[in-house]
Amino acid sequence: MTLAELLPSTGCSTEPVLEEGLWPDGTRVAGGDLVIGGLPATQLAARFGTPCQVLDERTVRARATAFRTALPRAEVVFAGKSLPCPEVYRWMAQEGLSLDVSSAGELALAKAAGFPAQRIIMHGNVKTAEDLKAALAYGVSRIVVDSLDEIAQLGALATRGQEVMIRVTPGIDARTHAKIATGVEDQKFGFSLASGAALEAVLRVVEQPSLTLAGLHCHIGSQVRHVASYEEAVRRMVGLIASCGTRISQLDLGGGFCAPYLAGERDFDLAGFAHRITGTLNYECGVHRVPPPRLLIEPGRSIVANAGVTLYRVCAVKHGLTRTFVAVDGGMSDNPRPALYGAKYAVRLVGRGGRPKPVTVVGRHCEAGDVLAEDVPLPHDVHAGDLLAVPATGAYHHALASNYNQVCRPPVVAVKDGVARPIVRRETEEDLLRRYV
């Protein structure tokens, strides 16, 4: 957030300007309040309490549609782990997307949503026998295998020519945070292309009478900014397809398309991606004389991140030797991303402006690392009772939330055209106690 954005704009409106691209479509400042999905944030906080994760349905649907429009011949698969919630899965089904799940638990949510099995793909570097059995019982269309052990286990469990894809490690450094870089060698995901393990996996699948090889898969990482990383993945994967000696009809490039979290960060260049990837795919297939496989992509973050806003109430303001700490009623239990990946967020005070000063927004948990945002400008007189809004919190927030310190997890409230409804309710102490024996 820049200083200018906290001050009244110089245009005809006297309302402050919102950072471009960070907030759900149509979010605006009106009368000092922040209006999301047609509803003032102060009203949402009063009705649903804080912390509260607000999700704008129209933004989610628009982004899902944007992927389908940009790549009309590809299968667009929503990465269900980014926002696991039956209602969101239903929206995806309605928008014509497929769904990827990475456990029997995520599959249970998909089933609850009535998500069609023929559009579900199961992932995961480890699938337990329970995961595999659940996938087979529901009849998921494809299972992405990730180890020789899994190929043997699935081969023994499957009966009807279960379609599988092979997860390949293409050896690509997508220049993202090490903890979410999954295309490089020597990490736990996939079969190495360079070592020949991927080709061996192809042979093993082909040998299994109960399995059918549907395609190859790679996922080079998350929060990937450069289309060139995907182009390189296509080159390497088509090279592998050419050496398989058997028809490969699907190429899944995974997800990872970046989303903006801070002012000035750019959205993923979806049109550029679509153009360059289809061009590279056709060119490489021509060079290798193989028929172009059908393309699949698995966006998660880029569909839901900027549709989400988290509302927190300020509980205390404390002045350290050099820093001012603004403590809120949530923290690393609803957002562990700063602690895990050094993720940075913008923060906005709802309801009023004022001369800004840099503060550190911290959570309520018993760890010094429970910091939500460092050195963010808030009005100098920020005080207990103020309402804060944090944009770009729609992806991997509900998904990664925990009960640390037995703090109950916040609700997810969907908003659309002035109507709000919880799609995940707030956790209660009763919920917590239910598990203890």
Interface contacts to ligand LLP, rule CB under 6 A: 79, 82, 100, 123, 180, 219, 222, 254-257, 298-302, 337, 341, 395-396, 400
Dump the DSSP string for 251-302.
Answer: EE----B----STTPPPP-HHHHHHHHHHHHHHHHHHHT-PPPEEEE--SHH
Per DSSP bridges, beta strands 162-169 and 211-217 are: parallel
Q: Is 320 annotated as a binding residue?
A: no
Q: Any known ligand binding at 396? A: yes
Closest to ligand LLP by CB, 400 vs 408, is: 400
Does the annotation place 87 within a ligand binding site? Answer: no
Instruction: Provide the minimum distance between the beta carbon of 299 and ligand LLP in the complex, in angstroms, as a whole number.
Output: 5
Return d(Cα 215, Cα 206) in angstroms, integer: 12
Least separation in angstroms between CB 106 and ligand LLP: 12
Number of Cβ within 10 Å of residue 194's Cβ equals: 11
Which pairing describes strands 294-297 and 75-79: parallel, antiparallel, or unpaired?
A: parallel
Token pair for 312? 């927190």
Q: Please check if 301 is assigned to a binding site.
A: yes
Q: How far is the CB of 324 from ligand LLP (least distance, A)?
A: 27
Which is closer to ligand LLP, CB of 297 or CB of 382? 297
Note if 408 is an active site residue: no
* Distance of closest approach, residue 387 Cβ to ligand LLP, in angstroms: 25
All residues at 6 or more sequence positions from 25 whose CB lies less than 8 Å from its CB, including other chains: 56, 58, 59, 62
Distance, CA of 286 to CA of 74 (rounded, Å): 19
Q: Is there a binding annotation on residue 300? A: yes
- Least distance CB 142 / ligand LLP (angstroms): 12
Nearer to ligand LLP (CB atom), residue 168 or residue 326: 168
Identity of the residue, 33 or 393, whose beta carbon is nearer to ligand LLP in the bound complex: 393
Residue 15 assigned as binding residue: no
Cβ nearer to ligand LLP, comparing 48 with 67: 67
Q: Is 258 exposed, middle or buried (0-12, 13-18, 19+ CB in 10 A)?
A: buried
Q: If you ran DSSP here, which 8-state letter would residue 307 be given?
A: G
For 328, residues 6+ apart whose C-beta sits below 8 A from its C-beta are 51, 312, 313, 314, 315, 361, 362, 363, 364, 372, 388
Q: Which of 244, 258, 366, 408 is catalytic?
A: 366
The annotation places the binding site for substrate at 301, 337, 341, 367, 396
The annotation places the binding site for pyridoxal 5'-phosphate at 256, 298-301, 396
The annotation places the binding site at 256, 298-301, 337, 341, 367, 396
Q: Which residues are catalytic?
A: 366
